[in-house]
């Protein structure tokens, strides 16, 4: 699954988390009132109130775009704990067991298919244990009921799993149409904007080892590319762009290669220092310079100019491109076939 699909799925789960927090918060507050005022179940009512208020807090945090990753874990835990507690202390005839059928789809949607399956299997153990314990104490041995519950419980997960996997496949297909350059297979400008949006919205994650502070991007422009088209034709020029994309993918070994203009490419470098980014750009420049692009029975030699800019959180897409373009055009104005990053530059003028 590629970067854009992951971003879209994360946004979908964030939206689900927000509204699920509101719905479950309201439901738990309602059950708090029901248990305390009508059923005189004070303990269960207090637990419902605590989890309900926590979930309403998660909803408010999501509204303010201050949601953390642990909020999703806590939301899942609070709903699970409330269902188990209510089932354990309530009479079987109250029907609390039906709430277990809600949990497998919830796990699948919030945690993903694989982790959701693990949670689903894990929860089935205390659910069945409590069911058999209560069956003995209440003189009720529902063998067929247990079988129906188990089948319905896992079927609810299976349906959600099939939906999620099909959704991921559809998202991947739509992604190729919306975010992939049809000529080169590189990601396009729309994909880059999505990357920027995700980068700027990402909060500091307490479960993450470190925040990615050193994110830099390279803007790469093929020197005198118009001359290639004029001399050899656009078919040859297109083939050069395709081979250039393959070369960049080979150098970076990930999917963060974007075609943002006719002969302009962009590469994202995560956790690169200024010196490391400059050295990597130099490697690309030399690799291109020493390569021969063989296409349509022609041997083409090209060079590239590269501008480097650091990506800062909160920086707009337009502002970043302005800084990176400035460094790129400095490289071109100083003779092309050059890497420029502020005061750092290496040139092999052509």
Give how far the C-alpha of residue 111 lies from the chain's centroid of Cα atoms, to the nearest Å. Answer: 12
Q: What are the helix (H) ranges across the chain?
A: 3-33, 42-63, 69-89, 103-111, 113-137, 143-179, 189-201, 225-232, 234-252, 274-289, 317-333
pTM, 2 dp:
0.58
pLDDT score recorded for residue 330: 81
pLDDT score recorded for residue 280: 94
> What architecture is the 189-347 domain classified under in CATH?
2-Layer Sandwich (3.30)
Q: Is 263 in the active site?
A: yes
pLDDT score recorded for residue 240: 93
Backbone angles phi, psi at 216, to 5 degrees: -130, 155
Query: Among residues 139, 73, 130, 135, which one has the least CA distance to residue 106?
Result: 73
Query: Among residues 1, 4, 2, which one has the least CA distance to residue 178?
Result: 4
Backbone angles phi, psi at 265, to 5 degrees: -125, 160
Which of the following is catalytic: 11, 263, 264, 319? 263
Render each residue's pLDDT in the chain as its tens digit; 350 residues: 555 555 555 666 778 778 888 988 898 899 898 888 888 888 888 888 988 899 899 888 888 878 788 888 888 888 888 888 878 877 777 777 888 888 999 888 888 888 889 999 999 888 888 877 776 655 555 677 778 888 899 999 999 889 888 877 877 777 777 888 989 989 998 888 888 877 776 634 444 444 555 788 899 999 999 999 998 899 999 999 999 999 999 988 777 899 988 899 999 998 888 889 999 999 999 999 999 998 878 889 999 999 888 887 777 777 777 777 787 888 778 878 988 876 444 444 33
pLDDT score recorded for residue 264: 92
pLDDT score recorded for residue 138: 53
276 Cβ neighbours under 8 A, 6+ residues apart: 269
Backbone angles phi, psi at 296, to 5 degrees: 50, 40
Looking at residue 100, the DSSP 8-state letter turns out to be G
Contact 128, 151 (CB under 8 A): no
pLDDT score recorded for residue 206: 41
Numbered ranges of CATH 3.30.70.270 in the chain? 189-347
């Amino acid at each position: 699954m590629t970067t854009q699909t992951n971003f879209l799925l994360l946004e979908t789960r964030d939206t689900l988390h927000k509204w699920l927090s509101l719905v479950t918060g309201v439901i738990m507050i309602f059950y708090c009132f029901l248990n305390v005022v009508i059923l005189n179940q004070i303990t269960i009512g207090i637990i419902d109130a605590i989890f309900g208020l926590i979930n309403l807090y998660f909803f408010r945090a999501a509204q303010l775009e201050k949601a953390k990753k642990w909020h999703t874990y806590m939301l899942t835990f609070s709903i699970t704990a409330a269902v188990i507690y209510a089932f354990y202390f309530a009479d079987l005839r109250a029907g609390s067991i039906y709430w277990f059928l809600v949990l497998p789809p919830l796990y699948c949607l919030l945690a993903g298919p694989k982790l959701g399956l693990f949670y689903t299997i894990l929860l089935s153990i205390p659910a069945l244990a409590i069911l058999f314990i209560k069956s003995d104490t209440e003189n009720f041995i529902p063998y067929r009921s247990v079988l129906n519950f188990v089948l319905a419980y896992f079927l609810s997960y299976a349906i959600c799993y099939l939906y999620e996997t099909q959704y991921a496949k559809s998202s991947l297909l739509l992604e190729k149409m919306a975010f992939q350059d049809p000529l080169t297979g590189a990601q396009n400008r729309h994909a880059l904007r999505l990357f920027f949006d995700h980068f700027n919205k990402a909060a500091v994650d307490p479960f993450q080892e470190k925040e990615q502070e050193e994110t830099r991007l390279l803007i790469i422009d093929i020197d005198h590319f118009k001359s290639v088209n004029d001399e050899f034709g656009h078919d040859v020029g297109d083939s050069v762009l395709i081979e250039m994309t393959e070369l960049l993918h080979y150098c970076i070994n990930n999917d963060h290669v974007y075609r943002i203009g006719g002969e302009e490419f962009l590469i994202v470098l995560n956790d690169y220092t200024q010196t490391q980014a400059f050295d990597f750009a130099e490697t690309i420049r030399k690799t291109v310079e020493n390569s021969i692009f063989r296409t349509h029975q022609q041997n083409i030699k090209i060079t590239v100019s590269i501008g480097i800019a650091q990506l800062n959180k909160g920086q707009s897409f337009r502002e970043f491109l302005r800084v990176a373009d400035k460094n790129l055009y400095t490289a071109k104005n100083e003779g092309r076939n050059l890497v420029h990053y502020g005061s750092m530059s290496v040139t092999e003028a052509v």
